[in-house]
Structure 1
């Protein structure tokens, strides 16, 4: 096995243009990430023919080779042993962040900030689903204060969401994360009128100078993001100018004083209005009647995944959950993901080529677990038609989910693991199952009949 991995590593290096063309190598859970000097020297077709390679593509300075969980660690180790310089993902991310146009860099930044906080929001969604399941199955046998206990589990992350976002923004933009946490906590201090209570009309905002409304920012995303960005830049500016002997005292003091004043009186009101406008526009698409929203989102989401900027939707989903605890977007993108898995499964079962079968079947399983890159880049996009059939299947499943207004209790997990976000009602779990079956089944049948035959390999 070790000899085989060494051979694969040698073939990869040669196909990418040789050791001199590779600046550094890193890896994530499924992909080998190579920073290259000249992408024109890459023989992508040759790379994709190498054993264990499930797909490859070039994006913003990185040549990414999809190898799968476990395998990628071993191949990366062999490549480093052969003399290629090793770099961390953060080092490659810093280099990659300099590449691409302004919009691409902005969207990558959104991903860098929101991806680290998603795990706690996933846990919150699972807690919500489990609470719904337990209260439906055992409505009369729950202990005293059970709901109060579950509220601690389900409400905490969103009650302090600005603190999580400000922490992550300070981390990404080069500030001190602990200052970001405190700034975010200031935005939801209990001394301020609660944003939810103000929104319901139960509480009035505080008025400063007779005309500036001041409230807490519970559940807000954009104001905390902007405060974190400006605060990190301000902290770095202050540290460069304050004498070292006074830095420990003055820098945090001035950063927090200036930023909470700016956040409450200027940034908060302005960007709350911007956030509301963005949400209103996105909600218009999400609420299109007769299942149209599902056709659009379910059918096109995986096209956006190809570009690598789909993390921008994290902001939208977080805001949906913060507003009402439910996320209809999850079911629509689940349909798109399941459909790509169904298309890859059809290719894997229909082909007689052993290598393609060995790529397609595991890739379809990966998609059914919520990760579509192996199926998309390793199988469906390579032959074109299966990807299109997957888009049609995603539109069909999304249409069904939208017709029944299917909503998740969380985010970031889809297809099979996503069932945990629909356990609050039996009907919701059944509709979710049907959404996946319709999406994957439609894509499978279309791919089987019209989307693939072994002649395409020529």
Structure 2
């Protein structure tokens, strides 16, 4: 008997035009991301109306919001169905001819579609985000283990337990192993993303964290320190390595490519990293850290209002992951990112707004069903189903959710301004799931109290603002009209309407 995720995958495959219309398949924490050959063959209205779908985003790729509980299994079943379908048509000349013609026509349509919906700056930010997104699971794991280690260390100091004292070095090794080499992973992913050989990107990024860097004294900027510049230095070095590799492949004879191309790429980019990129990236990283400290110390409340209130807009545009390098740099330098908990207030505002919509749409069972499904994941830290399935399609609740998030961000920022800074030791989770990953100037306990207070304030303010200001009389009448009397449309957001 077919399970519900396979049925969902089969339904979606038919609605997006079949396997021949799918050029790529990927997924993130809540969205199934599809490359589409011919967008005209996609029945978006039916996709949006599917019971398992929380929203649709057309922006470079065709993104179907399914929520974190379902996306993994639906994506797996979807990919399997596509593979089976493509295998079944092999050997049929007519089908092969039709598929080739479709691919040629779809390639032209896709190019036009991308040109319409993408800008160079937006695409660059997404490519940088794609470097760091695969690292998030490891960052989460290491952050949780680091939090556990800090708790055990506090217990060991208070109880004088030799057993706990012996465990602390183990948790430290488990949590810091990845972080000590994160530059290498960043270099690997950078080269892969920008057309180079991944292992060469990792090799040149490894120079950044190599202890022998301390012995390099003859540079235009003086002595170097291992890890100077961190992930930013690794990013720049691997990006240059990929560019040099592509340049060398066009000029080196085929017989010598295996020997000379990697040597040229690593040697020249590595030299540039030591002489210029590491010192420069170190200055930038210090500027980020000092800038964040100054901002929160002098204008914490105002900065919290602005950052918390606007972050959901970045999520809507899919650009929020471009902030990952900044968070990673702060974690490297300070042990936590003080900006991340403020930005996480966006989830509280969205949760409150969704609750208000639920209360106001008493006679709309389909919308209330979406909210019942999406709201728990929002509380636990994934706000996209609420954004794309509830608040953004209704517009006004999205704005009032931002107001709530700004109020919550202002609370967290105010505490930072008063000297009680709250930060996150990892990135990825938000909502209440972020609690074990918190740290700050006064440790986990006060940080968790500040964060929880801010999040609940954001949710309360978002709910109140949405309940009072989130609807016009006409909106309420439409939301609560019988299904046959109105044109209810939830969850469909097109990039060309933003």
Give the TM-score taking structure 2 as reference length.
0.76
Instruction: Establish whether residue 107 from structure 1 lines up as the match of residue 125 from structure 2.
Output: yes
Greater mean alpha carbon deviation, residues 154-163 or residues 436-445: 154-163
Q: Find the counterpart in structure 1 of residue 248 from structure 2.
A: 238
Give 1:344-355 correspondences, 5 Å limit.
344-351=354-361, 352-355=363-366
- Once residues 274 and 41 of structure 1 are traced to their aligned partners in structure 2, the CA distance between those partners, rounded to angstroms, is 47
SS of the equivalent of 2:276 reads: helix
- Counterparts in 2 of 1:258 and 1:349: CA distance versus 1, 3 Å: same
Mapping 1:39-438, distance limit 5 Å? 44-45=44-45, 47-60=47-60, 62-68=61-67, 69-70=69-70, 72-73=74-75, 76=78, 80=82, 100-139=118-157, 140-143=160-163, 144=165, 146-193=167-214, 207-208=217-218, 212-218=222-228, 220-277=230-287, 280-281=290-291, 284-289=294-299, 291-351=301-361, 352-404=363-415, 405-422=421-438, 425-438=444-457
Secondary structure of 2:63's match? strand
Q: Are residues 257 and 393 of structure 1, via their aligned partners in 2, closer, same or farther at CA, if it must alter by over 3 Å?
A: same
Secondary structure of the equivalent of 2:25? Answer: strand
Does the Cα contact within 8 Å between 1:34 and 1:64 map onto a contact in 2?
yes
Q: Deviations over 1:220-275 (max 9, x none)?
A: 22221111011122223334444455444333333322222121113323343344
Q: Is contact 2:285-2:329 (8 Å) kept? A: no
SS in structure 2 of the partner of residue 181 of structure 1: helix
Q: After the TM superposition, which residues 17-28 of structure 1 pair with which residues of structure 2 at under 5 Å, given as runs?
A: 22=21, 24=23, 26-28=25-27
Q: Which runs of 5+ in 1 are unaligned?
A: 194-204
Structure 1 Cα separation of the partners of residues 243 and 176 of structure 2: 31
1:283-337 CA-to-partner distances (Å, cap 9, x unmatched) read: 5544442511211111110011111111111011001101110211121122111
Q: How far apart, CA to CA, are the structure 2 residues paired with 1:131 and 1:11?
A: 46
Q: Which moved more, 1:303-312 or 1:409-418?
A: 409-418
- 1-structure distance, mates of 2:170, 2:76: 44
Partners of 1:4 and 1:261 lie apart in 2 by 55
Structure 1 Cα separation of the partners of residues 227 and 80 of structure 2: 50
8 Å Cα contact 1:160-1:218 kept in structure 2: no
1:25–1:76 CA distance, 2 compared to 1 (3 A): farther
Deviation at 1:3?
11
* Equivalent position SS for 1:289: helix
Could you tell me how far apart the structure 2 residues matched to 1:120 and 1:5 are? 27
1:416: how far off? 2.1
Match of residue 477, structure 2, among 427, 431, 455 = 455
Alpha-carbon spacing, 1:359–1:188, altered in 2? closer, same or farther (3 Å) = same
Note if contact 2:232-2:329 (Cα within 8 Å) is conserved in structure 1: no
Greater alpha carbon shift after TM alignment, 214-223 vs 255-264 = 214-223
The 8 Å contact of residues 355 and 463 in structure 2, kept in 1 or not, is answered as yes
What secondary structure, in the 3-state scheme, does the structure 1 residue paired with 2:211 have? coil
Q: CA deviation at 1:381?
A: 0.9
How many residue pairs match? The answer is 440
Distance 1:41 1:50, change over 3 A: same
Partner Cα distance (1:74, 1:231) in 2: 34
CA distances 1:117-154 after superposition (whole Å, capped 9, x unpaired) = 22222222212211222223342214455444343234
User: For residues 214 and 190 of structure 1, what CA distance do their matches in structure 2 show?
Assistant: 10
Tell me, in whole angstroms, the C-alpha distance in 2 between the residues paired with 1:251 and 1:279: 37
Are 1:223 and 1:268, in contact at CA under 8 Å, matched by a contact in 2?
Answer: yes
